[in-house]
Amino acid sequence: MSEKSVTAPSATRVAKRAMVLGALVCRGFIEVESPADVEELRQSLLPWIDLVGAREEMEQHELVALTAPLGGLDAQAQINLAWAVEGLAVLTWAMKRYDLHPDDTLAEPQSVTHTLNFLHESAKALVDAPTLRDESELLAMKDTCYTKHCHLKEFAANPLNVEKIKEKEFSITSSISRERMRAALWLTGACEIYSEVDIAV
């Protein structure tokens, strides 16, 4: 695996990216809810991003998704936003705010976003005075995620292996691995733009 090619994000940028992912994860999960129950919540997401000063970290396609009316996301977009919670789990771990679950266990969205003081003004303090684990810890996490991802790719290459387990269970584990690897690579400077991180092996 190649060494990092760009400057790793600062603690402040990691905090801002976490806030953006937190809002996107929320947007993904409320897509299937009744508008009467969650419209106010949807409308509060972007103002909160502005309040904590994270708008500059948001990519254009993320802004489109965040501001889309309820029912306006296609099925794949909704799925992608929901799975972003696994990347968020890695970022909040890096911020020393979350204890990361084993790599075959789904992160619980509300538990992860809660660590950001989600939708509260106090979240701004996490951006203004951010904390971040040492580079050695981040690199170790990257190596762990990469190794797991490679093992899954090798496992999937043999159809007999996949037949031995439930396809849905393998799909979930693979999705967890993919999103955690994306976050770990971004944290260690693999790519400037989060969504453009290359997770191909």
The 10s digit of each residue's pLDDT in 41-83 is: 999 999 999 999 999 999 999 999 999 999 999 999 999 999 9
| Residue 187: closest CA among 17, 54, 31 | 17
Q: How many residues does the chain have?
A: 201
Name the residue ranges covered by the structural domains of the chain: 11-196
Q: Write out pLDDT tens, residues 71-114.
A: 999 999 999 999 999 999 999 999 999 999 877 789 999 999 99
107 Cβ neighbours under 8 A, 6+ residues apart = 85, 86, 88, 89, 100, 101, 176
Residue whose pair of structure tokens reads 């003004």 in the numeric block? 121
